[in-house]
Amino acid sequence: MTRSYLPGILAMAAIVVASNILVQFLFGQWLTWGAFTYPIAFLVTDVTNRVYGTGPARKVVLAGFVVGVICSLIGTQIMGEFGPLVTLRIAIASGLAFLTAQLLDVSIFAALRNGAWWRAPLASTLIGASVDTALFFSIAFSGALVWLEPGNNVSWAAEMLPVLGTGPEAPLWVSLAVADWGVKIGLALLALIPFRLIVTRLTRPQATAN
């Protein structure tokens, strides 16, 4: 670890911790507050990738993954109204989705690095965020994967309801996934502004004393 991208590691750790806490609090019918903080992880990864390269970006991702595992372990020991705050399926879904999506983001960004400045962060985040949502919600709540944790009753997530209250009927977890994905996509577009500003600031030549 070099000192230069340590702020990226600290920022990623802070985002993961904050998201694990805020996911416990609902925002409306389909989202939690964690849905608004977690996507910032892609911004941290992309800024690190642009400024310091793929190696440091992967280290930032791995740091976030380790922090996430620790948060999950702590969550399994905290009992809520319906049992542990973090179940085995949630822990597996969270860790696998984060690691897969973030490393995919790093690879896609690297492949598009030499294009227009916005192409790499936008494409890598859109694809990474989509994979993240698909993996997390299907692993955590799909009835087809009940064997992952037979003792964990997630039948509530299989209740058939109109998607987001207005679309065709689908399991509740599909509405949760669609809402989460929509927030990620919206924030991916907005994140282009801070991405440009932060990268410009970090890559600006430093003035030298005479």
User: Which domain, by its residues, includes 67?
Assistant: 3-141+180-203
CATH of the domain at 108: 1.10.1760
14 in a domain, yes or no? yes
Question: Is the pLDDT score of 98 beyond 80?
Answer: yes
120 in a domain, yes or no? yes
Provide mean pLDDT across the span 177-194.
Answer: 97
103 in a domain, yes or no? yes
**How far is the C-alpha of 91 from the C-alpha of 52, rounded, in Å?**
30
147 in a domain, yes or no? no
pLDDT given at position 77: 84
pTM: 0.92
Which backbone phi and psi does 157 adopt, to 5 degrees? -75, -15
15 in a domain, yes or no? yes
26 in a domain, yes or no? yes
Q: Does residue 81 sit in helix, strand or coil?
A: coil
Q: Which residues share a beta bridge with 161?
A: 170
The H or E element that residue 84 is part of is strand 83-84
Name the band, by pLDDT with cuts 50, 70 and 90, for residue 208.
very low
Domain total in the chain = 1
Q: Does residue 162 sit in helix, strand or coil?
A: strand
For the chain, give the mean pLDDT: 92
Q: Nearest-CA neighbor of 187 among 3, 40, 1?
A: 40
Higher pLDDT, 117 or 5: 117
Conformation bin of residue 123: beta by default, left when phi > 0, alpha when psi is -120 to 50? alpha
Q: Nearest-CA neighbor of 93 among 146, 136, 64?
A: 136
118 in a domain, yes or no? yes
Name the band, by pLDDT with cuts 50, 70 and 90, for residue 167.
confident
DSSP annotation of 159 reads: -
**How far is the C-alpha of 154 from the C-alpha of 145, rounded, in Å?**
10
18 in a domain, yes or no? yes
